[in-house]
Amino acid sequence: MDEPCKVERGGFMTIWQIILLIAAFGALGGIVNSAISGEFNYPRFDPGAKVWRPGWIGNVLVGAVAALVVWGVYGPLASYDLVTGRTIELHLTVAQLLTSLVVGLSGGKILTLMAEKQAATISKDQLAATLSALTKG
């Protein structure tokens, strides 16, 4: 009765379904980044820090695009010849999906860090201006 686990061959997927799946995993990575960094807000301009905060929507979009770019550069499409249009056999592995998740997390993290760096620079400039004004007065 106890049969070993069998992995059966999958069905056919179009290139658009694969692209959508890769982008979805990248977007999921962006959501995870938002949860980790506490950026579950809508995109907004922070007037005090004079910086644009991408919020969760920015993290999701950047995660999806970053995952697609990395998959296109390092995945099976990297060897596709656009001039000859030669058809290639595409494979979508678990590793590719998990890599898309990590890339989405990293892409969103890079966006968040850029916003935080800009805010820190503005804060330093404001602090320097305040200290300068206090020492002159």
The answer to whether position 10 is within a domain reads no
- Which pLDDT value is given to residue 64? 94
Asked if residue 103 is part of any domain, the answer here is yes
User: What confidence score (pLDDT) does residue 136 get?
Assistant: 78
pLDDT at 8: 57
| One-letter-per-residue 3-state SS of 112-132 | HHHHHHHHHHHHHHHHHHHHH
Which two three-digit tokens encode residue 56? 């969760």
**Domain membership flag for residue 5:** no
Question: Residue 33 corresponds to which tokens in the numbers above?
Answer: 């980044």
Residue 118 lies in a domain: yes
Residue 108's nearest CA partner among 34, 41, 35 is 34
Contact 103, 66 (CB under 8 A): yes
Please state, in angstroms and rounded to a whole number, the distance separating the CA atoms of residues 23 and 14: 14
In a domain? residue 4:
no
Which structural domain, as residue segments, surrounds residue 114? 17-80+90-130
One digit per residue, the tens of pLDDT, for the chain of length 137 reads: 566 655 456 667 888 888 999 999 999 999 998 888 887 888 888 777 666 777 888 889 989 998 998 888 888 877 777 787 776 777 888 999 999 999 888 887 776 666 677 777 766 777 777 777 778 75
Domain-located, residue 11 = no
Going 13 to 17 to 23 to 27, the CA torsion angle's sign is: negative
Query: Considering the domain boundaries, does residue 85 fall inside one?
Result: no
Residue 33 in domain: yes
The per-residue pLDDT for 29 is 92
Q: How many domains does the chain have?
A: 1
